[in-house]
A = this chain, B = another copy of it.
Amino acid sequence: MSNRVYNFAAGPATIAVPVLEKAQQELLCHGADGMSVMEMSHRSGMYLAIYERAEALLRELMAIPENYTVLFLQGGASMQFAQVPMNLMTVTGTADYIDSGNFAKNAIKEAQRYGKVNVVGSTADIAYSRIPEISGVNDEADYLHFTTNNTIFGTHFWQLPQTKAPLVTDMSSSILSKPYDVSKYAMIYAGAQKNIGPAGVCVVIIRNDMLEREPMAFTPTMLKYQTMAKAGSMYNTPPTFGIYMAMLTFEWLKELGGLEVMEKMNREKAAVLYDYLDSQSYYIAPVEKDSRSMMNVTFVTGDKDLDKKFAADAAKAGLVNLAGHRLVGGMRASIYNAMPKAGIEKLVGFMDDFAKANPKA
């Protein structure tokens, strides 16, 4: 415990200590079940109790309406980049996509292999430094896809895109960071490895009418949402331990007071960092203020060598994984739900010391 660092990785990311401690305690023997959760048959009563608790807690935390199905799948968000069009781009064969960052772009590229994609907004030309304006939306599109929080660039959709088409969103890096009105979306998906638990689980929350769309003929059986919805995510063996870890995270969030409380904490945490960034001129925060993410905070010194030194020196001080994504460089502090305020305060202290110790040429 005492030698744990502050881990600012973008995902897989830091996990709340009480969640890890509970998992550790139960690792060889879960309650009176006589075995580790990892060893449980996914169809046993003891495991189904865990699965059902995970789903019930997620429904409660996010206030998911009854006409939505919750799935725990494999493959991460990247698998969804194909699964979404294969399952849902099947009425008119067209969909609107917003290009707000690297993962949004990957989603677009994959969708283009399955139908006609209209890109209705992009900030690629300004290095994704804000959420795009959108224009030319097609209300008759099979759906409009966007990325709620852009992990690499540190931007967040604070306003929903306006369209009559069903909204499908990749919420990987901001799910559970605050309440979202699920009823506004046709589908939400999220890789677990940021705010939910370990990598290898992807949560899908889908409105039941979307399940009526007939998937493309070549869709692998287990990639049809219909298959998994009918089987309660257990067409085949699900990632049982990852779902258990998700359940422990949901319990932790509930005990904290739920997503309103979490949002308040996240706003306070992000303010510590953004207020500091806005108060000085050594570091530059490239994202426009009204697009700023509470989960991923990007900044640069303006000098690539200093950026490198920053990440290296920070790691020595127990503040790790602060280098920006390999595609963009600079620095990025991912401050998900599980990052304590103390970690951010320590980071800001370090930033200030570093600026003084490393004047720019």
Please report A residues at the B interface, Cβ cutoff 8 Å. Answer: 1, 3-5, 7, 9-15, 17, 20-21, 23-24, 27-29, 32, 34-36, 38-44, 74-79, 81-83, 86, 110, 113-114, 191, 193, 197-201, 216-218, 220-223, 235-242, 245, 318, 320-321, 326
* Closest chain B residue to A321, Cβ basis: B41
B44 touches A199 (CB 8 A): no
* Closest chain B residue to A6, Cβ basis: B34
18 contacts between A and B (CB under 8 A): A4-B35, A7-B39, A12-B39, A12-B240, A15-B36, A24-B27, A27-B27, A74-B74, A76-B237, A82-B220, A82-B223, A110-B220, A113-B218, A113-B221, A114-B218, A198-B241, A199-B239, A200-B201
Question: What 5 A-B pairs come out closest when comparing CB atoms?
Answer: A200-B239, A82-B220, A5-B34, A78-B236, A24-B27
Smallest CB–CB gap between A131 and chain B, Å? Answer: 24
Additional pairs, 13, CB under 8 Å, beyond known A23-B27, A78-B221, A242-B242:
A1-B28, A1-B29, A3-B29, A4-B28, A4-B34, A12-B40, A14-B39, A17-B28, A76-B236, A81-B221, A82-B221, A110-B220, A241-B241
B39 touches A13 (CB 8 A): yes
Contacts of A242 in B (CB 8 A): 200, 239, 241-242
Q: Which of B5, B12, B29 contacts A41 (CB 8 A)?
A: B12
Contacts of A241 in B (CB 8 A): 198-200, 241-242
CA distance in complex: A83, B222 (Å): 11
B237 touches A199 (CB 8 A): yes
Smallest CB–CB gap between A313 and chain B, Å? Answer: 16
**CB-CB under 8 A for A78 and B28, given A34-B7, A41-B10, A320-B34:** no
Contacts of A15 in B (CB 8 A): 36, 38-39
Contacts of A239 in B (CB 8 A): 74, 198-200, 239, 242
Smallest CB–CB gap between A230 and chain B, Å? Answer: 14
A240 touches B74 (CB 8 A): no
Smallest CB–CB gap between A60 and chain B, Å? Answer: 24
Contacts of A5 in B (CB 8 A): 34-35
Contacts of A193 in B (CB 8 A): 237, 240
Question: Which of A34, A235, A318 is packed against the most chain B CB atoms within 10 Å?
Answer: A34
